Chain A
Amino acid sequence: MRTGPDAYALLDIALTTLRGAVLPHVAPEARYAALMVANALDIAGRELRGFDASGHAMVVALAPLYGEDADDALAGEELDTRVSALQHRLCIEIAAGDFDHDGQDVLMDALEAIVRARLVIANPKAAGQGA
């Protein structure tokens, strides 16, 4: 059984050490690779912490289209399955032309909210950039 710091804490301290004790001394030819490592650790940490929050945000984003209530009790795989099912349904409707003439504003709002929820994990800075 695990007794030490958990995965979140390990990732945090690894990143802090990389930034504070390693990056300043990395040779120029290895700096790009070192920055990529820091970026990857950052993304992994945000994904571990924020995966469910991102899933809930996507369900909320799709509510204006499908009227699904955000069920806060859903988590992990179950939540992921719910989000995937809603997104699949939307993909089918889009491809069938359901939004060719009407409902584009609602659709665009939903799509933007979905992408924003994913950007919170992948690249939070890009989520905030203006149009």
Chain B
Amino acid sequence: MHAANPSLSPRAPMGAVLNDESRSRLEGWLTERAGASRVTVTDDGRLGGGAISVNHALTLDIHGGSRAGRHACVLRAESAGRIAASIGKRREFAVLSAAFTAGVAAPEPLFDCDDPGVLGPDFFIMRRAEGVGAGFAVVKGDAPQPDLARELGRQLGLLHRVTPDAPGLERLPEPPLCPAQELLGHLRAWIGDLARRDPVLAWGLRWLEVNAPPPGPLVLCHRDFRTGNYLVKDGRLTAILDWEFAGFGDPMEDLGWFCARSWRFRRVNREAGGIADRADLYAGYEETSGRRVDPKRVAYWETAAYLRWAAIALQQGERHSTGAEPSLELALTGRMLPEIEMDLLRHLRAQAALAATARAEAALATPPAEDPPVEQVA
């Protein structure tokens, strides 16, 4: 998922990766799964953009069975070092299936495999979508893209109609009693001892604790819904990608993540993912989700987004530092922490200013009480 330096272009195809032996095993397995008489796999090379999963472009020629024909696909496999927030390929396949069934523009999931005898790691195969995905390329044009933001809002609204009782999602972790408290627990575990050495992370965690909203409805969240994780062709959305962090949570969480400064790719004034205003995204969301956007709750989840991205960046850096997966890209991602922290502080400043304005307006509107209200952290 996250590139170490989003200003750099995505990795180009790196050549064929399946050898004759593994391709032959894959073809045999696919023939059985597709109920076909024969399947031929052509390896079109490794695709970029995945620091957690490994993506290969494949062409399947299926002879016989219900899926007979030629299919441009992507094989998505677990990489060497999975990070804590990732749900694994079998669950990701279940999420993708639920989203696709709900009408979300997700790549159609075709086959999933947890037999280590086929390729080794768990993997699944989905249909390949066309379009540009790299964040800087998507936000490049001088004109904002309100229609694209609105469509992304509609898509997110469709996804958020999926609830924990949807069939096929039993593989996911139990829905949390309180999403804010659950994430806070995860963040504390992921950030660990650094919260006693880095005061910005300490303040972010404290802010999340003091301002945690009570639980509301629980829906299926994407948890990495942002510019850079969807494909656009001729200005139109073609597919939403990277479902490996999905789970049940607060519907405002995905909106906060989408609007975080980290994913605006230097278009900081286009608060919806560097492409348009929040109002465009929110309007699309309200069209399909059946609920209103709660800006205050979105702001809470945006704070959580910076802490979560910081924790992920730290883990990516550790994958390199511990020797588990030596990689310059992972090492540089670990060095992004101060940048993420600056974004967090700017967001908290803006929230504090909003809260101060609200308090001033409330004070003007009501006569002074005997006991002045306690100032909240904000």
Measuring CB to CB, which residues of chain A are less than 8 angstroms from any residue of chain B? 28-29, 31-33, 35-37, 39-40, 43, 84, 87-88, 90-92, 94-95, 97, 99-102, 104, 107-108, 110-112, 114-116, 118-119, 122-123, 126-127, 129-131
Q: Is A91 touching B342 in the complex (CB atoms < 8 A)?
A: no
> Whose C-beta in chain A lies nearest to the C-beta of B15?
A29
How many whole Å from A96's CB to the nearest CB in chain B?
A: 9
Known contacts A90-B199, A91-B197, A129-B268, A32 near B336 by CB under 8 Å: no
Additional pairs, 16, CB under 8 Å, beyond known A97-B210, A101-B374, A115-B338: A29-B12, A31-B9, A32-B8, A32-B11, A33-B328, A36-B329, A39-B4, A43-B332, A90-B202, A91-B196, A94-B203, A95-B206, A99-B203, A102-B375, A114-B200, A119-B342
A-B contact pairs, 21 of them (CB 8 A): A28-B12, A29-B12, A32-B10, A40-B331, A91-B196, A94-B206, A97-B206, A99-B206, A100-B206, A101-B375, A107-B203, A108-B348, A111-B199, A111-B200, A115-B345, A119-B339, A119-B342, A122-B336, A122-B337, A123-B336, A129-B342
Within 8 A of A (CB), among B173-211: 195-200, 202-203, 205-206, 210
Specify which chain B residues have a CB less than 8 angstroms from the CB of A32 in the assembled complex. Answer: 8-12, 48
Q: Is A101 touching B377 in the complex (CB atoms < 8 A)?
A: yes
Specify which chain B residues have a CB less than 8 angstroms from the CB of A91 in the assembled complex. Answer: 195-199, 202
Q: Is B352 touching A39 in the complex (CB atoms < 8 A)?
A: no
Specify which chain A residues have a CB less than 8 angstroms from the CB of B210 in the assembled complex. Answer: 97, 100
Q: Is A39 touching B332 in the complex (CB atoms < 8 A)?
A: yes
CA distance A92 to B341 in the complex (A): 18
Known contacts A35-B5, A92-B196, A94-B203, A29 near B336 by CB under 8 Å: no
Specify which chain A residues have a CB less than 8 angstroms from the CB of B196 in the assembled complex. Answer: 88, 91-92, 95
> Whose C-beta in chain A lies nearest to the C-beta of B348?
A108
Residue B332 contacts which of A36, A104, A108, A112 (CB distance < 8 angstroms)?
A: A36
How many whole Å from B341's CB to the nearest CB in chain A?
A: 5
Is B359 an interface residue when CB atoms closer than 8 A count as contact? no
Q: Is A104 touching B352 in the complex (CB atoms < 8 A)?
A: yes
Q: Is B339 touching A123 in the complex (CB atoms < 8 A)?
A: yes
Specify which chain B residues have a CB less than 8 angstroms from the CB of A100 in the assembled complex. Answer: 206, 210, 377
CA distance A85 to B45 in the complex (A): 50
Is B236 an interface residue when CB atoms closer than 8 A count as contact? no
Q: Is A111 touching B339 in the complex (CB atoms < 8 A)?
A: no
How many whole Å from A35's CB to the nearest CB in chain B?
A: 5
How many whole Å from B362's CB to the nearest CB in chain A?
A: 17
Q: Is B338 touching A119 in the complex (CB atoms < 8 A)?
A: yes
Within 8 A of A (CB), among B253-310: 268
Q: Is A131 touching B349 in the complex (CB atoms < 8 A)?
A: yes
Residue B197 contacts which of A33, A84, A123 (CB distance < 8 angstroms)?
A: A84
CA distance A39 to B375 in the complex (A): 44
Specify which chain A residues have a CB less than 8 angstroms from the CB of B64 in the assembled complex. Answer: none
CA distance A33 to B12 in the complex (A): 10
Q: Is B338 touching A118 in the complex (CB atoms < 8 A)?
A: yes
How many whole Å from B6's CB to the nearest CB in chain A?
A: 11
Specify which chain B residues have a CB less than 8 angstroms from the CB of A28 in the assembled complex. Answer: 12
Known contacts A32-B12, A114-B200, A104 near B377 by CB under 8 Å: yes
CA distance A94 to B4 in the complex (A): 30
| 0/1 string, B346-368, CB within 8 A of A gives 1 | 10111010000000000000000
CA distance A115 to B202 in the complex (A): 13
| 0/1 string, B1-45, CB within 8 A of A gives 1 | 000110011111110000000000000000000000000000000
How many whole Å from A41's CB to the nearest CB in chain B?
A: 11
Specify which chain B residues have a CB less than 8 angstroms from the CB of A94 in the assembled complex. Answer: 199, 202-203, 206
Specify which chain A residues have a CB less than 8 angstroms from the CB of B375 in the assembled complex. Answer: 101-102
Is B335 an interface residue when CB atoms closer than 8 A count as contact? yes
| 0/1 string, B237-256, CB within 8 A of A gives 1 | 00000000000000000000
How many whole Å from B48's CB to the nearest CB in chain A?
A: 8
CA distance A107 to B349 in the complex (A): 11
Q: Is B338 touching A123 in the complex (CB atoms < 8 A)?
A: yes
Specify which chain A residues have a CB less than 8 angstroms from the CB of B342 in the assembled complex. Answer: 112, 115-116, 119, 126-127, 129
Q: Is A87 touching B345 in the complex (CB atoms < 8 A)?
A: no
Which of B197, B202, B331, B352 has the most CB atoms of chain A within a 10 A radius of its CB? B202
Specify which chain B residues have a CB less than 8 angstroms from the CB of A131 in the assembled complex. Answer: 346, 349-350
